[in-house]
Amino acid sequence: MSPSPAADANPSDGHGATQPEGGPVLQLLARALKLWVRQQCEAIGSLEIRLEGSTLALLKGRLAGVRVLARRVEYQGLRIELVEMHSEPIEVQMGRVLLGRGPQLEHPFQIRGQLSFTAEGLTRSLACGQWRGLGDGIGEALLGISPLTEVRVRANRLVLAARGVGERGLIELTTQVGAADGSLEIRATEAPAAEAARYLLPMDPNITITRAEIEAGMLQLHGEARVTP
């Protein structure tokens, strides 16, 4: 995720990030975008933004692309360990930025990238708030009970756990993940549940998951999305 230095604008984030190398207009937009991204999230541990393109093209309202790398992100109640994204060319109205206001994007654009979730982050996300209904749906579909109590990663499998009424211990199910129909599919790997139990995550029509896997101890989702300003 490293564009050519001549096209870089990567202002310091207070976490040891390097100083910007682009011109002052690129630096100004990078800072404005960084502030805008932080305002969209409840929390961000660290954030790097790299702009691709030239100052001349940007003054004409066109940015070749944006790369984002963020860690420990909380967005709409989802706890995401790592976010890596790259946009297609974007049309930007620079007048607002030059006046010290937030960036104004002119048209919808596509982004591609990867989201990585730890087991702890998934457990916390699905246990409360707006995602609890999703956790309950997964528990009912795959375990036959809800609420979903815990999510664990074991090798390249996702282990789901819930506690039934009157049960002292947890009921567990080992599953495998993959992409299907543009979404995340969670499928039981143990008989007899493995014969039929699967759950396809309900998805926003503007988001498509192209690959899902367990790697480096995390659930990693690869895909693309259409962003509408």
Residue whose C-alpha is closest to residue 45's, from 14, 12, 20, 8: 14
CA dist list (Å): 13 to 48, 135, 179, 218:
7, 34, 34, 26
Average pLDDT over residues 60-78: 94
Q: Lowest mean pLDDT of 87-91, 179-183, 218-222, name the range.
A: 87-91
Give residue limits of the domains in the chain. 5-107, 119-227
Contact (CB, 8 A) for 218 and 81 = yes
Q: Quote the CA–CA distance of 36 and 199 in Å, as a whole number.
A: 34
Closest CA to 123 of 82, 161, 170: 161
Q: Are 160 and 139 in contact (CB under 8 A)?
A: yes
| SS3 category, 112 | strand
Report which secondary-structure segment, H or E, holds 78.
strand 78-87
Mean pLDDT calculated for residue range 178-188: 96
Q: What is the DSSP letter of 15?
A: S
Model confidence pLDDT, tens digit, residues 110-153: 999 999 999 999 999 998 889 999 999 999 999 989 889 999 99
Helix-strand-coil split of the chain, %, nearest 5: 25, 45, 30
pTM of the model: 0.84
Q: Residues of the chain with pLDDT > 90: what percent? A: 59
pLDDT band, residue 93 (cuts 50/70/90): confident
**Encoded amino acid at 207, one letter:** I
Task: Provide, rounded to the nearest whole percent, the portion of the chain with pLDDT above 70.
Answer: 86
* Strand ranges inside 118-206, DSSP E: 148-154, 157-162, 171-180, 183-188, 198-200
Confidence category of residue 196, pLDDT binned at 50, 70, 90: low
